[in-house]
Structure 1
Amino acid sequence: MRTTFSRLPWRELPPVFAEILRPRIEEIGSAMVQAIRREVPAYHRPLDSPTGRDLVTSVHRAMHQFAELTEDPDGSQRHYEHFFQRLGRREFLNGRTTDGLQAACRVGARGAHIGRLMAERTLAPLRELPSGKAARLAETLDALLTSWGRTAPEVADALRIHPQTARNRLRRLDELFGDRLADPSFRIEALLALRTRAMRPPGPAE
């Protein structure tokens, strides 16, 4: 069962997400810009035009803001507020309505899912399994990554399952992920993937 989608998703992510996101801002931002230009007529402009430059700058600013909010959800965002207020005034002076800007934001939000898909690659071995088994192993992996000693009894206690069941699942995770389970970078990215996947809004059948 997925968690409810949050309007403040940065509060649902570990601060280390910012470290993972920042090196990928250029790649993800470019994909978001292309999606906006493709789907929103008001932004069918060359990237070297004033409109194109504003679009690229605003997308990248928004992603840097997201990273900062993940690190410090209650930190001051005044510098970003001033930037986006100036952007809104320029949009108005250039004859673009708020409808176009809102449409761009909606497309950009969908583009942000590219980041989630990138994170999900870490969990690729689970996608080869039946959905029920994959879900059980995903929750076990989450419990493993957030436990202090990463032992079967801790995982069993966290999931309220029998210790032998926990051991069986941990052996299966070891078969699927091998030495990566001991890699700190992998553990961070796997936890990020699990949390961002849980943040997706539920589909109509869920």
Structure 2
Amino acid sequence: IDDDESATIMDATVTQYGNALEAIIEMRPNVGTVTLILKMLQPYYGKLAEHERSRSVDATVQVLRVYLDKAEDITIGIASDFGPLSSLLARLSPRLVDSLALVRHQSLAAIHYAFRLANAYKGHGTHTDSSLFRIDEFARTYLNNEGRLDANDAKKAVRKMAEVIEARLPQCQMQTYLSALFEMMTDRQSQHETRNKALKEDF
């Protein structure tokens, strides 16, 4: 098998993998299913291999998007907490300054979906929260770089997201968020100390 054929096979495999994830959520569109899948994906967010980080975050976006569209356990007028929110924020926020631009932008999209789900869980429905940051504006202001972000840009991006998290994360989930954030100190990706320190200093 030559390189082109191998790449084609891998692309097809990744596509079918995504389709399988969607099918699983569509069969059981509840937070238990989502939580189980996310637990399997999260260990790959900080892997050294770019393709592992990229595919795991991309799959996370896919899972959250389908769940937001198909959820059967979200009811307008009945408020509760979106359980996976704190863990998602702690593990994806550091990825906003990932060395790979695709991971940065996909992490932002996943965080946005997580906040939309949290808003829906408050009983407001699945429409976009008008007070939530706009993905395109945040990306243009803080992530507009195809290569690595320099240290100052990385700090700005992380501090801005820390402000959003502080304003939106329920107090009852704060301990879980901070615990997961400390776990990310084992992240071997460069810049992890800068971004994790910035996130924790804002609390």
TM-score, shorter chain, exceeding 0.5: no
Greater RCO structure (CA 8 Å; 6+ sep)? 1
TM-score (norm 1): 0.27
- State the structure with more CA Rg: 1
TM-score if structure 2 supplies the norm length? 0.27
